[in-house]
Amino acid sequence: MPSMNMIQALNSALDVALAGDPDVLIFGEDVGYFGGVFRVTDGLQAKYGLQRCFDTPISESGIIATAIGMGAYGLRPIAEIQFADYILPAFDQLVSEAARLRYRSNGQFWAPITVRAPYGGGIFGGQTHSQSPEALFAHVTGLKTVIPSNPYDAKGLLLAAIAEDDPVIFLEPKRVYNGPFDGRRDQNAKSWVGHPHSEVPAGDYRVPLGKAATVRPGSAATVLAYGTMVHVALAGIEESGADAELLDLRSIVPLDIEAIVESVKRTGRCVILHEASRFGGFGAELSALVQERCFYHLRSPIERVAGWDTPYPHAFEWDYFPGPARVVAALQRVLEN
CB 328 to other proteins: min, Å: 33
SS3 275: strand
Q: Is 33 in the site for other proteins (CB under 8 A)?
A: no
Q: Residue 99, Cα to own-chain centre: how many angstroms?
A: 18
- Choosing from 5, 9, 13, 102, the residue that interacts with other proteins (CB under 8 A) is 102
Q: Is 129 a catalytic residue?
A: yes
**Counting contacts by CB under 8 A, is residue 72 touching other proteins?**
yes
State the DSSP H helix or E strand holding residue 131, giving kind and residue range, or none if neither: none
CB nearer other proteins, residue 255 or residue 270: 255
Is 103 near other proteins (CB under 8 A)?
yes
Question: Are 237 and 218 a contacting pair, CB within 8 Å?
Answer: yes
Question: What letter represents residue 52's amino acid?
Answer: R
DSSP string, 256-291: -HHHHHHHHHHH--EEEEEEEESTTSHHHHHHHHHH
Number of alpha carbons in the 13 Å side-chain half-sphere of residue 15: 18
Please list, in sequence order, all residues whose beta carbon lies within 8 angstroms of the beta carbon of residue 189, skipping any fewer than 6 positions away: 178, 179, 181
- In the bound state with other proteins, the residue whose beta carbon lies nearer, of 11 and 56, is 56
Stretch 168-207 residues interacting with other proteins (CB under 8 A):
none
170 Cα distance to chain centroid: 6
Q: Which residue in the set 70, 117, 229, 260 belongs to the binding site for other proteins (CB under 8 A)?
A: 70
Query: Quick check: is 139 catalytic?
Result: no
Task: Give the binding range for other proteins (CB under 8 A) out of 101-109, 124-132, 232-240, 320-328.
Answer: 101-109
Give me the DSSP letters along 4-16: --HHHHHHHHHHH
The residue type of 116 is: R
Q: Which helix (H) or strand (E) holds 171?
A: strand 168-173
Cα angle at 256 between 76 and 328, to 5 degrees?
120
Q: Which of 224, 253, 272, 290 binds other proteins (CB under 8 A)?
A: 253
At 9, the amino acid letter reads A
Span from 116-124, 211-219, 235-243, 250-258 in contact with other proteins (CB under 8 A): 250-258
Candidate segments 32-40, 141-149, 225-233, 276-284, binder of other proteins by CB under 8 A: 141-149
Exactly one of 29, 60, 134, 303 is catalytic; name it: 60
Contact 222, 260 (CB under 8 A): yes
Nearest distance in Å: CB 70, other proteins = 4
The binding track of 260-299 with respect to other proteins, each residue x by CB under 8 A or -, is ----------------------------------------
Q: Cβ of residue 207: shortest distance to other proteins, in angstroms?
A: 17
| H or E element in which residue 307 lies | strand 303-307
Q: Which residues are catalytic?
A: 60, 129
Binding site for other proteins (CB under 8 A): 25, 51, 56-57, 59, 61-62, 65-75, 77, 89, 92-93, 96-97, 100-110, 141-142, 144, 164-166, 210, 253-255, 257
